[in-house]
Amino acid sequence: MLNFYIKTYGCQMNERDSEALACLLEARGYREVETETEADILIFNTCSVRDQAERKAIGKIGMMKMLKDEKPSLVIGVIGCMAQRLGSQILAELPQVDFVAGTDQLQNVPNLIAEAVTRHGRSAALEMGPGVFRELDGHRPGQLIAEVSVMRGCDQFCTYCVVPYCRGREKSRPIEAIVDEAERLAAGGTKELLLLGQNITAYGVAEARKAGTYTPEFSAFADLLVALNEVKGIERIRFTSPHVRFMNDKFVEAVTQLPKVCKCFHVPVQSGNDRILKLMHRNYTAKEYLDRIDAIRAKAPETLFSTDIIVGFCSETRQEFEDTHEVMRRVGYDMAYIFRYSQRSGTKAAETLTDDVPEAEKHERNQILLQELNESVARHNAQMIGQTVPVLIEGPSPRNPKRWCGRSDRNKMVLFDATPGLKVGDLRNFRIERSTENALYGTLDKS
Ligand code: 5AD
Ligand code: SF4
């Protein structure tokens, strides 16, 4: 029996793909192992979103040459966004790599492995598009929180972003297939779903446009949430990432009213300045973004928001950056990923704009926003003291096994003393006694 090991870089979509691939390989008789050195087959699931992510993976795959010199039968495969983007170049420049498979080619990985093992051939499977991709729906057993991919690809073409090139056009799974997957997960003990899609609020949009049924009131994503809210055993539903352009009133109604949908939303803003938003091709103004946040808060006032921000995009002035800072103050995010703009070849920004904000200035802007974020998170956490919140119990804390941990419905890590009678997977109320920047400390509410 051959052992495999998958190393995953990048986003949750990649994590989910790695999980589904691991299940497929196990079904074909391969065995997953915990370390590279035990593996007969090494798979790198790569990310291209920023230059650093690609360099990290290339550095790591480069180092694998030594392992392969020691064990020539070792099979090395590269999958994911970087494989899609640079597939043939990877094969040409890294002789230790046996195969590359693009983002629509997951189901072909077992064939590529078999070919490398039996014929010692090197191959590339990079074809994308309709008809090529088959969704894999395997999950590792017994997960309290499970990721479910609902759509793939992106048709937005934000000017800085490689995703539309690496992941191809938007394609959504049928509602029934997703509900079926959720029911199977619930039967296996899953309590929380994390729905995934690069542009998740465009769920079903490409298909509706093709059928001529798309209108501004359309939100198949809201319909999907309504259907998943009915699945017995599933207690919580989260999703990532929506795009403001598709957050219409039907969406707002669903996410604020459905009881199982957690009232904390990741809504990427990228910039708070209208000229920059236009250059980024985001299709909304700062006011429109804030209006959607307000529409959600009007119906569910306790909602927490998180976001993605890019600082130092081409030609962004200090004043324009301050507009982003102002949006951060207005929303009071509870979490944010703040990125320094990284030029990616092949994108519209790389071809038509100049990456002219100096690295030191990008760094400074990043620091300013991190400071703002820390203050706003500390404020939120302090406000939680004295409140009682529902916590999905995850078990011993990885840092201190005497303590247990779980997440609140608003995605806050809550730590508490291990208490007899508490079980992993229980949903129990905790009273928050104190808070730090990273966590809340609570006691079980016995009432
Ligand atoms: N440079 C910096 N950040 C980027 N992102 C996407 N492309 C780039 C880039 N070229 C960020 C965006 C996106 C998140 C996943 O990564 O903020 O929402
Ligand atoms: Fe990239 Fe924009 Fe699509 Fe998000 S919406 S994946 S940032 S192109």
What are 248-300's pLDDT values in tens digits? 999 999 999 999 999 999 999 999 999 999 999 999 999 999 999 999 999 99
When mean pLDDT is compared across 102-111, 122-131, 217-226, 238-247, the lowest value belongs to 122-131
pLDDT at 106: 95
Residue 212 lies in a domain: yes
The protein residue whose alpha carbon is closest to atom 7 in ligand 1 is 161
CA 26 to chain CA mean position, Å: 24
3-state secondary structure of 153: coil
**What ligand has the least distance to the C-alpha of 200?**
2
Phi first, then psi: what are they for 423, rounded to 5°? Answer: -125, 150
Q: What is the tally of structural domains in the chain?
A: 4
Do residue 227 and residue 325 come from a single domain?
no
- Distance CA(339)–CA(345), nearest Å, equals 17
49, 158, 166, 171: residue to mutate for ligand 2 pocket, most atoms within 8 A of CB: 158
Residue 130 lies in a domain: no
Do residue 302 and residue 326 come from a single domain?
yes
8 A C-beta contact, residue 200 and residue 221: yes
8 A C-beta contact, residue 238 and residue 411: yes
Task: Give per-residue pLDDT as tens, 94-142.
Answer: 999 999 999 999 999 999 999 999 877 789 999 998 778 888 999 999 9
Residue 219 has pLDDT above 90, yes or no: yes
In this prediction, residues 26-37 reach a mean pLDDT of: 95
β-bridge mates for residue 310, sequence order: 339
Residue 134 lies in a domain: no
Do residue 91 and residue 25 come from a single domain?
yes
pLDDT at 395: 93
pLDDT at 84: 96
Residue 175 lies in a domain: yes
DSSP 311: E
Query: What are the residues whose beta carbons fall under 8 Å from the beta carbon of 106, sequence distance 6 or more?
Result: 17, 20, 21, 24, 79, 133, 134, 136
CA angle 35, 100, 84 (to 5 degrees): 115
Single-letter code of the amino acid located at 61: I
Residue 447 has pLDDT above 80, yes or no: no
Residue-range definition of the domain harbouring residue 119: 3-125
Residue 8 lies in a domain: yes
Do residue 227 and residue 334 come from a single domain?
no
Q: Express as a percent the part of the chain with pLDDT over 70.
A: 100
DSSP 356: -
Interval between CA 341 and ligand 1 midpoint (Å): 7
3-state secondary structure of 188: coil
Residue 49 has pLDDT above 80, yes or no: yes
Q: Strand 123-125 relative to strand 171-172: parallel, antiparallel, unpaired? A: unpaired
Q: Express as a percent the part of the chain with pLDDT over 90.
A: 92
Residue 439: which of 417, 409, 416, 422 has the closest Cα?
Answer: 416
3-state secondary structure of 371: helix
- Distance CA(324)–CA(319), nearest Å, equals 9
- The string of DSSP codes covering 31-73 is EE-SSGGG-SEEEEEE--SSHHHHHHHHHHHHHHHHHHHH-TT
Q: Which two tokens stand for residue 197?
A: 């899609």
Task: Give per-residue pLDDT as tens, 278-289.
Answer: 999 999 999 999
Do residue 227 and residue 173 come from a single domain?
yes
In this prediction, residues 406-426 reach a mean pLDDT of: 92
- Distance CA(169)–CA(103), nearest Å, equals 11
Residue 170: which of 124, 221, 121, 204 has the closest Cα?
Answer: 204
- Distance CA(327)–CA(273), nearest Å, equals 9
Residue 338: which of 316, 319, 312 has the closest Cα?
Answer: 312
Query: What are the residues whose beta carbons fall under 8 Å from the beta carbon of 180, sequence distance 6 or more?
Result: none
In this prediction, residues 364-386 reach a mean pLDDT of: 96
pLDDT at 156: 96
Query: Maximum distance among all alpha carbons in the chain?
Result: 66
pLDDT at 290: 98
Do residue 146 and residue 257 come from a single domain?
yes
pLDDT at 307: 98
Do residue 103 and residue 198 come from a single domain?
no
Is cis: bond before 73, omega within 30 of 0? no
State which of 58, 93, 125 marks the end of a domain. 125
Do residue 170 and residue 251 come from a single domain?
yes
pLDDT at 261: 98
Q: Measured between alpha carbons, how far is residue 218 from residues 173, 185, 242, 263 in Å?
A: 17, 28, 15, 22
Do residue 342 and residue 355 come from a single domain?
yes
Interval between CA 154 and ligand 2 midpoint (Å): 6
- Distance CA(107)–CA(122), nearest Å, equals 17
3-state secondary structure of 209: helix
Residue 231 has pLDDT above 90, yes or no: yes
- Distance CA(218)–CA(205), nearest Å, equals 8
Task: Say which CATH number the domain at 399 has.
Answer: 2.40.50.140
The protein residue whose alpha carbon is closest to atom 1 in ligand 2 is 161
Residue 50 has pLDDT above 80, yes or no: yes
Do residue 358 and residue 394 come from a single domain?
no
Residue 401 has pLDDT above 90, yes or no: no
3-state secondary structure of 301: coil
13, 156, 245: residue to mutate for ligand 2 pocket, most atoms within 8 A of CB: 156
Question: What is the rounded average pLDDT for all residues in the chain?
Answer: 95
pLDDT at 437: 79
User: Residue 178: is it exposed, middle or buried by C-beta count within 10 angstroms (0-12/13-18/19+)?
Assistant: buried
Interval between CA 346 and ligand 2 midpoint (Å): 14
Residue 86 lies in a domain: yes
Task: Say which CATH number the domain at 22 has.
Answer: 3.40.50.12160
Residue 121: which of 107, 104, 100, 102 has the closest Cα?
Answer: 100
Task: Say which CATH number the domain at 308 has.
Answer: 3.30.750.200
- Please work out whether the CB of residue 313 comes within 6 Å of at least one atom of ligand 1: no
pLDDT at 118: 86
Task: Give per-residue pLDDT as tens, 380-400.
Answer: 999 999 999 999 999 999 888
Interval between CA 446 and ligand 1 midpoint (Å): 44
Single-letter code of the amino acid located at 359: E
Q: Which two tokens stand for residue 287?
A: 């006011």
State which of 383, 410, 434 marks the end of a domain. 383
Task: Give per-residue pLDDT as tens, 146-201.
Answer: 999 999 999 999 999 999 999 999 999 999 999 999 999 999 999 999 999 999 99
8 A C-beta contact, residue 430 and residue 384: no
184: number of CA atoms within 13 Å, CB side?
12
pLDDT at 130: 78
Interval between CA 53 and ligand 1 midpoint (Å): 11
pLDDT at 144: 97
- Distance CA(42)–CA(116), nearest Å, equals 12
pLDDT at 218: 96
Residue 287 lies in a domain: no
Q: Specify the residue for token string 């419905």.
A: 409
State which of 351, 367, 383 marks the end of a domain. 383
Do residue 7 and residue 109 come from a single domain?
yes
Do residue 190 and residue 238 come from a single domain?
yes
pTM of the model: 0.96
The protein residue whose alpha carbon is closest to atom 12 in ligand 1 is 308
Task: Say which CATH number the domain at 193 has.
Answer: 3.30.750.210
Q: How confident is the model at residue 420 (pLDDT cuts 50, 70, 90)?
A: confident
Residue 288 lies in a domain: no
